[in-house]
Amino acid sequence: MSYQCILTDVKQGVGIITLNRPKVMNALNATLCREVGEAVDGFEANDSIGCIILTGGDQVFAAGADIKEMKDQSFPALHAKNFPYIQRDCWRAIEDARKPIIAAVAGFALGGGCEMVMACDFIIAADNAKFGQPEVSIGTMPGAGGTQRLTKAVGKAKAMEMCLTGRMMDAEEAERSGLVARIVTAEALAEQALKTAAKIASMSRPTVMLIKESVNMGVSCSLDDGLRFERRAFEATFAFEDCSEGMNAFAEKRKPVFKNR
Ligand code: CO8
């Protein structure tokens, strides 16, 4: 499949999506959003892939929605068709994916770009990463999860300050605040993200999917409901051949051979 605004690759059971509009800091135009959605769908449907990486360039993940493309939109058009010019809600495609998606972020992740990495399952940040919701500076506001996911990730005080002032958070503050899982050097980002994703891809896929679903449940439901869901999901893993293979392999002091069933 050839794309205009992204690159895709497959390595070690990992599907890699790279945003690729370097001249405009990977601004998210309609084509890029559609292509990210299509690439996620394609990797989801590909049985040889167990994990996905979403990444950008060395200096910028994405500087947000393409302001030049967005600037002439009107409220009636946006409202009537739920942001029609984007055509494909790639943020939704990312969060609906059942395979884990890791964001590997170097440089700016701003506006819709910050929202895109927050829709992923976790973020590995390069030491030059910067996160922000600067929409207020151009007279608008986050529209794809910025006020919601940032608040859940870093708490109300920091999210409110960032959304109201446009202040960016550097990688260290983002790690301290719980927005990113881990910081690596910019040079090591691609390798470390691939190593992490390949490790996930080597695990039992149905179990990995249940773990992802269970953690995500916990983000949006009560502790009681989350614990109940987790217990049923845990029990369900005993229906997988991979579960008995994993436990037998441990008892027999050998490496498990997971068959994703
Ligand atoms: N859209 C379009 N073009 C952009 C964007 C953008 N978001 N960001 C940068 N560019 C372009 C610039 O216009 C420039 O192009 P040219 O060379 O033709 O003039 C080129 O990229 C390089 O940019 P700069 O010269 O500005 O580079 P700097 O290194 O000086 O600055 C910044 C980098 C700080 C990233 C700066 O470019 C910037 O502030 N960009 C805009 C950031 C922003 O406001 N983002 C929020 C956009 S709104 C949004 O994301 C809402 C999402 C809602 C989604 C809801 C969907 C349902």
44 and 155 both lie in a single domain: yes
The Å distance, Cα 63 to ligand 1 centre, comes to 5
62 and 84 both lie in a single domain: yes
Ligand 1 atom nearest to 108, measured from its CA: 35
87 and 161 both lie in a single domain: yes
Report how far residue 84's alpha carbon sits from residue 97's, in angstroms, rounded to the nearest whole number: 22
pLDDT bracket for residue 5 (50, 70, 90): very high
| Residue bearing tokens 């992204």 | 6
pLDDT score for 84: 62
Report how far residue 46's alpha carbon sits from residue 33's, in angstroms, rounded to the nearest whole number: 20
The Å distance, Cα 119 to ligand 1 centre, comes to 20
> Residue 259 domain-assigned?
no
Would you call 181 helix, strand, or coil by DSSP?
A: coil
Going by alpha carbons, the residue nearest to atom 38 of ligand 1 is 63
Name which of 100, 117, 105 is nearest 183 in CA terms: 105
Beta strands in the chain (DSSP E): 6-11, 14-19, 51-55, 60-62, 101-105, 108-110, 122-126, 130-132, 169-170, 182-184
20 and 129 both lie in a single domain: yes
pLDDT bracket for residue 85 (50, 70, 90): low
Going by alpha carbons, the residue nearest to atom 21 of ligand 1 is 24
Which residue out of 27, 65, 106, 119 is catalytically annotated?
65
Report how far residue 100's alpha carbon sits from residue 78's, in angstroms, rounded to the nearest whole number: 30
The Å distance, Cα 180 to ligand 1 centre, comes to 22
Q: What is the CATH number of the domain that holds 27?
A: 3.90.226.10
> Residue 242 domain-assigned?
yes
Report how far residue 213's alpha carbon sits from residue 209's, in angstroms, rounded to the nearest whole number: 6
| Torsion angle (degrees, nearest 10) of CA 216, 193, 57, 54 | -30
Tokens linked to 226:
């989350």
What is the CB < 6 Å shell around ligand 1?
24-25, 27, 63-68, 83, 86, 108, 110-112, 134-135, 137-138, 143-144
197 and 225 both lie in a single domain: no
Would you call 116 helix, strand, or coil by DSSP?
A: helix
Query: Is 42 designated active site?
Result: no
The Å distance, Cα 26 to ligand 1 centre, comes to 8
Domain extent, residue 239, equals 204-251
The Å distance, Cα 248 to ligand 1 centre, comes to 53
- Split into its structural domains, the chain has a count of 2
Query: Is 65 designated active site?
Result: yes
Within 8 A by CB and 6+ apart from 118, the residues are 145, 146, 149, 150, 153, 179
25 and 132 both lie in a single domain: yes
Residue 17 main-chain phi, psi, to 5 deg: -115, 120
Q: What is the CATH number of the domain that holds 218?
A: 1.10.12.10
224 and 195 both lie in a single domain: no
Which residue out of 37, 112, 132, 146 is catalytically annotated?
112
Q: How many CB atoms lie within 10 A of CB 185?
A: 12
Task: Using a pLDDT cut of 70, give the percent of the chain over it.
Answer: 98
186 and 111 both lie in a single domain: yes
215 and 133 both lie in a single domain: no
Q: How do residues 38-52 score in pLDDT, each as one tens digit?
A: 999 999 999 999 999
193 and 209 both lie in a single domain: no
Of 161, 184, 201, the one marking the end of a domain is 201
**Residue of 33, 59, 67, 138 to test ligand 1 pocket, by largest number of atoms within 8 Å of CB:** 67
Written as one string, the DSSP assignment of 222-235 is: -HHHHHHHHHHHHH
| Residues 67-82: b if buried by 16+ CB within 10 A, e if exposed | eebbeeeeeeeeeeee
Q: How do residues 209-218 score in pLDDT, each as one tens digit?
A: 999 999 999 9
21 and 54 both lie in a single domain: yes
Q: How do residues 10-37 score in pLDDT, each as one tens digit?
A: 999 999 999 999 999 999 999 999 999 9
Query: Is 104 designated active site?
Result: no
163 and 213 both lie in a single domain: no
